[in-house]
Amino acid sequence: MTLPSETFTQHPHRCKLERGHRGAREGAERNDILVVVDTLSFSTSATTAVHHGAIVYPCARTEDRNALAQRVGAEATVGRLDIPEKGRFSLSPLTYLDLEPGARIVIASPNGATCSRYAGHAPHLLETTGRDVTLLSCGERWQTPSEDDLGAGAILSFLDCDKSSEARACEGAFPHLQDDLLETLRDCGSGRELREKGFGGDVDHAAKLNLYDTVPAMYNGRLEPFRL
């Protein structure tokens, strides 16, 4: 038996939930609006950087961050443990709090940055384009729910449109954890890993709901504040 091509597309619902690189590719092929959720840490770091005036170039896992930085006249991120000896910026959102406006930064990550590259030509406006929207729970490299489902659920709770069962299930979990975001993130696998490495502050920063009013959007391969 051959299943219809739309069986696993969450059609006809306007708001969908997908995971990882495959979901990013499929959402881009549908020309959906793509919302990349990589809570720990790409999305949090990129939002923090853009809010404080930076222009961010996402770097996919298959790209050379230093070559990209040289090409666009930017600084490349380094490992968290290499701050400050080898550079100023890393996947730690706290490294972007004191940057100078106009800084150009290449942020590399195997999940959020890579998915953002797939989303490079996706439309931005839900209300005026008539497009569907796909929330991408990057989910580290696992196929199981993660802290990114929590982040996606938070965003979904603010969207008033027809949602797929996958999206509604993700959204439904958020209210039960909304008052305990910090402990939830600190106790998840990625949160524990960061705390064990001495970066608990990154987790605390990511747990601050609605901290910024800046929404990074892709324009010509770079993240800047969303503009109407």
Phi, psi of 108 (to 5 degrees): -100, 140
91 near 45, Cβ under 8 Å?
yes
State the pLDDT at residue 142: 56
**CA nearest 181: which of 191, 172, 193?**
191
Is 3.90.1560.10 the CATH number for 15-219? Answer: yes
**Residue 213 in tokens:** 């009013």
State the pLDDT at residue 143: 55
State the pLDDT at residue 119: 72
State the pLDDT at residue 197: 96
CA torsion 118-124-129-133 (nearest 10°) is: 60
CA atoms within 13 A on the CB side of 17: 26
Task: List, in order, residues 6 or more apart from 161 with CB less than 8 Å away.
Answer: 14, 15, 126, 133
- 2: three-class secondary structure by DSSP: coil
State the pLDDT at residue 40: 94
Q: Where are the domains of the chain?
A: 15-219
State the pLDDT at residue 125: 66
Task: Write the CA distances from 124 to 4, 107, 120, 196, integer angstroms.
Answer: 29, 21, 10, 37
Cβ–Cβ contacts within 10 Å for residue 58, how many? 27
Query: For every one of its 228 residues, what pLDDT tens digit does the chain have, with 9 covering 90 and above?
Result: 455 567 788 989 999 999 888 888 888 888 898 999 999 999 999 999 999 999 999 999 899 999 999 999 999 999 999 999 999 999 999 999 999 999 999 999 989 998 898 776 666 667 677 889 999 998 755 555 689 999 999 999 999 999 999 999 999 999 999 999 999 999 999 999 999 999 999 999 999 999 999 999 999 899 999 987
